[in-house]
Amino acid sequence: MVSITHLSKSYRRGDQVVPVLRDITLSIPEGDFIALMGPSGSGKSTLLNLIAGIDKPDSGELLVHGEDITRLAEADLADWRASNVGFIFQFYNLMPVLDAFENVELPLLLTSLSRRERRVRVETALSLVGLSDRMEHYPNELSGGQQQRVAIARALITDPAIIVADEPTGDLDRKSAEEILGLLRRLNTEMGKTIIMVTHDGHAVESARHVTHLEKGELMLDPGSSPQPRRPG
């Protein structure tokens, strides 16, 4: 599903070029749940951003369902993200002026669905994350765990193939984190979503099927090999 070949990315800091990812080659099969781990500055979030199509590499190939997304123009990439990727952020990134229903509905505004169809989908998604009774609540009226559940509902509302999660439990207490990880596992096992998660949390890693380590921008695996199994599929 995701095939990464010789991917490199660097940032410019003044006159200096700082390499962040060096010659990454990795493949993630459909329906996988992979955890990207590594110390700060190892490039795991950068790799996640590249896979999600919100950043562009300097070189290399990144195929998703056979399509090289590094070659897409900005507008096409935005369309691609809208229909293929669901985002879960560490700080939820909900719109504070929209209630839970409206936040989840947001990605559907880019589709041709009718208002009625959108409503049905949003109610289903919110019920899936256990927030049917919180639809009219604003983010500041919800706990961190509840906000992240709204974010998960928003991530899956367009039925994307990939869900990227950047430290999804980083801002949560243990109990809420466990609930979120449980939800992610369900999305993976019951709905077949491919989940790519960046985390520092050793406990969160246990939810993933595979784990990949990055250090100083390099994969800690042999090139072309599959990520290390973590959990039976």
Task: Give the footprint of other proteins on this chain (CB under 8 A).
Answer: 49, 52, 54-55, 74-75, 78-79, 81-83, 87, 89-91, 93, 95-98, 106-107, 109-110, 154, 171
Bridge partners, residue 16, by sequence:
13
**What is the smallest separation between the CB atom of 7 and other proteins, expressed in angstroms?**
16
Closest CB to other proteins among residues 85, 211: 85
Closest CB to other proteins among residues 18, 109: 109
Closest CB to other proteins among residues 3, 93: 93
Closest CB to other proteins among residues 38, 227: 38
**What is the smallest separation between the CB atom of 82 and other proteins, expressed in angstroms?**
3
Return the closest-CA partner of residue 198 out of 37, 7, 31, 13: 37
**What is the smallest separation between the CB atom of 71 and other proteins, expressed in angstroms?**
18
Bridge partners, residue 35, by sequence:
197, 211
**What is the smallest separation between the CB atom of 189 and other proteins, expressed in angstroms?**
25
Tell me the residue type at 215: E
The answer to whether 101 and 76 have CB atoms below 8 angstroms apart is: no
**What is the smallest separation between the CB atom of 154 and other proteins, expressed in angstroms?**
8
Closest CB to other proteins among residues 193, 210: 193
Contacts from 169-176 at CB under 8 Å and sequence distance 24+? 169/199, 169/201, 169/204, 170/90, 170/199, 170/200, 170/201, 171/90, 171/91, 171/92, 171/144, 172/144, 172/145, 172/148, 173/144, 173/145, 174/203, 175/145, 176/143, 176/144, 176/145, 176/148
Closest CB to other proteins among residues 63, 106: 106
Closest CB to other proteins among residues 15, 74: 74
Looking at the chain, which runs of residues are DSSP E strands? 2-13, 16-28, 33-37, 59-64, 67-68, 85-88, 162-166, 194-198, 210-215, 218-219, 228-229
**What is the smallest separation between the CB atom of 53 and other proteins, expressed in angstroms?**
9
Bridge partners, residue 2, by sequence:
28, 64
**What is the smallest separation between the CB atom of 213 and other proteins, expressed in angstroms?**
22
DSSP state of 1: -
